[in-house]
Amino acid sequence: LKLEKITDLFSKNDQAIKDDFELLTKGRESQTLSLTNTMIGDAVFVEEGAKVEAAVLNSSTGPIYIGKDAEIMEGTVVRGPLALCEGATLKLSTKIYGATTVGPYSKVGGEVTNSNIQGFSNKGHDGFLGNSILGEWCNLGADTNNSNLKNNYSEVKIWNYSTNQLENTGLQFCGLIMGDHSKCGINTMFNTGTVVGVSANIFGGGFPNKFISSFTWGGFNDSSTFQLDKMFEVAQKVMERRHIDLSQDDKEILSAVFEITEKYRN
């Protein structure tokens, strides 16, 4: 499997999950699921310590991998392929369909289709996320929604950093691409093919722009720069909740991104 562009992280996720499932489970025995669950198909693998109760798991469309100490809460409906990684959680009555990855210790709720959510990120409430990518340490406020299909059904364009302009993706379905440590407030509405950089903090009414620079603070009507010292302060608080420190290496990487992306904020 070859990744050639950013959107491959969700558009090729179906095959990636199937390949990884075969590799990770070959010759191994799954933990047993309780009788409170409804199973369709038998391509479900449960690692040690995982908790699953009163869920519907349909693996007839693709395998479902439930990682160590992961949890699927009651009322959740999953149609595979799904990779729920170590310590990750699907909250009450979550709906998952279309190849989706939920990274380590991330928390997901609402409706999600064909998305790739990296580790330690939260989409914990109702709202739709489709054909999207979230980096690490992201947080989507309650009732955040993204569009993944244009009203005229035409090809979606997204921001391309190499050309500094919107470029065609060749895709009819493309949602939100959000960089590490970015966050948005409640009821945020993301347009089709929105690209959000690193450490952006988005809030306010209306649709934000389709390209939101790294370290943006604000929304559609008014925004400023999320200064590094404040960003480090917030990141440290967020990471401490997961018993992880913001390292000096992290700070140096984020400082470099801050400098590289300055031109987009001016």
**Structure confidence by residue, pLDDT tens digits, 12-33:** 999 999 999 999 999 999 999 9
Class of domain 1-124 (CATH, top level) = mainly beta
pLDDT digits (tens, 9 = 90+) for 63-122: 999 999 999 999 999 999 999 999 999 999 999 999 999 999 999 999 999 999 999 999
In the chain, where the domains are located: 1-124, 144-266
* pLDDT at residue 220 in the model: 74
pLDDT digits (tens, 9 = 90+) for 143-190: 999 999 999 999 999 999 999 999 999 999 999 999 999 999 999 999
Give the integer Cα–Cα distance in Å for 17 and 225.
38
Mean of the per-residue pLDDT values of the chain: 97
Amino acid letter for position 252? E
Give the integer Cα–Cα distance in Å for 124 and 139.
8
pTM above 0.85, yes or no: yes
* pLDDT at residue 156 in the model: 98
Q: What is the 3-state secondary structure (H, E, C) of 189-215?
A: EECCCEEECCCCEECCCCCCCCEECCC
